[in-house]
């Protein structure tokens, strides 16, 4: 059974994951308006991933006898100065999410909730990948600059991304 403290914390994380999806859809909308549809594709796929993460938490809460309680989602920003600014914010956002996941792990360990600690290890590993991917794209954009052929090559690369849902346990 899930403790009330852990249930509340995971419910907050579900909200954070849905906010992340909302943020990435906002980024997709903005960047597509600049003509970079490949970048937009990357962000739309990222939004799908974040919703899948929220659902992974959702199923876990239900599986452990808790109750998911939906809360209001804050409005994300809608404008950025440049593609680099979008990826700077993406990288910072993923670092923030990593911090949230780490706090959940800390709580699970404090409460000797081994099941939650085990489940959360998937998210710990996922966040390493999320930060690395966002930073990698950010570094490429810095390297090629935001005008010219290089940015279009990155756009073409990002257009090829497809959504692969995470495996569901249980």
Q: Which residues 6+ apart lie within 8 Å of 146 measured at CB?
A: 82, 83, 84
Cβ of 162: how many Cβ atoms within 10 Å? Answer: 7
Sketch the domain layout of the chain as residue ranges.
4-159
Specify the CATH number of the domain 4-159: 1.20.1260.10
Question: Could you say which DSSP state residue 33 is in?
Answer: H
Compute the average pLDDT of residues 119-140: 97
Please state, for a pLDDT cut of 70, what percent of the chain lies above it: 98
pLDDT in tens, 102-128: 999 999 999 999 999 999 999 999 999
pLDDT higher than 50, residue 170: no
pLDDT at residue number 159: 95
Q: Which pLDDT band, with edges at 50, 70 and 90, does 169 fall under? A: low
Over the chain, what is the mean pLDDT?
A: 96
The percent helix, strand, coil of the chain (3-state, each to 5) is 75, 0, 25
Q: Between residues 86 and 147, which one has the greater pLDDT? A: 86
Token pair, residue 165, equals 């849902």
pLDDT digits (tens, 9 = 90+) for 38-87: 999 999 999 999 999 999 999 999 999 999 999 999 999 999 999 999 99
DSSP string, 56-120: HHHHHHHHTT------PPPPPP---SSHHHHHHHHHHHHHHHHHHHHHHHHHHHHTT-HHHHHHH
* Ramachandran category for residue 65: left, alpha or beta (phi over 0 → left; psi -120 to 50 → alpha): left
Q: Is the pLDDT of residue 148 over 90?
A: no
- The packing angle between helices 37-63 and 4-33, to 10°, is 170
pTM above 0.85, yes or no: yes
pLDDT band, very low/low/confident/very high, at 167 (cuts 50, 70, 90): confident
pLDDT of 168 strictly over 90: no
Q: Are 62 and 2 in contact (CB under 8 A)?
A: no
């Amino acid at each position: 059974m899930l403790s009330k403290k852990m249930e509340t914390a995971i419910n907050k994380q579900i909200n954070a994951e849905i906010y992340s999806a909302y943020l990435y859809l906002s980024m997709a909308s903005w960047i597509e308006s600049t003509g970079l549809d490949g970048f937009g594709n990357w962000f739309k796929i990222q939004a799908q991933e974040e919703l899948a993460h929220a659902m992974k938490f959702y199923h876990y809460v239900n599986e452990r006898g808790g109750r998911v309680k939906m809360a209001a989602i804050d409005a994300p920003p809608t404008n950025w100065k440049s593609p680099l600014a979008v990826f700077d914010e993406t990288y910072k956002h993923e670092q923030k999410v990593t911090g949230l996941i780490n706090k959940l792990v800390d709580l699970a360990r404090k409460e000797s909730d081994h099941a939650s600690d085990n489940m959360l290890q998937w998210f710990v590993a996922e966040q390493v990948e999320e930060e690395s991917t966002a930073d990698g794209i950010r570094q490429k954009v810095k390297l090629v600059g935001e005008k010219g052929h290089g940015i279009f090559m990155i756009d073409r690369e990002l257009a090829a991304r497809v959504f692969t849902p995470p495996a569901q346990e249980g």
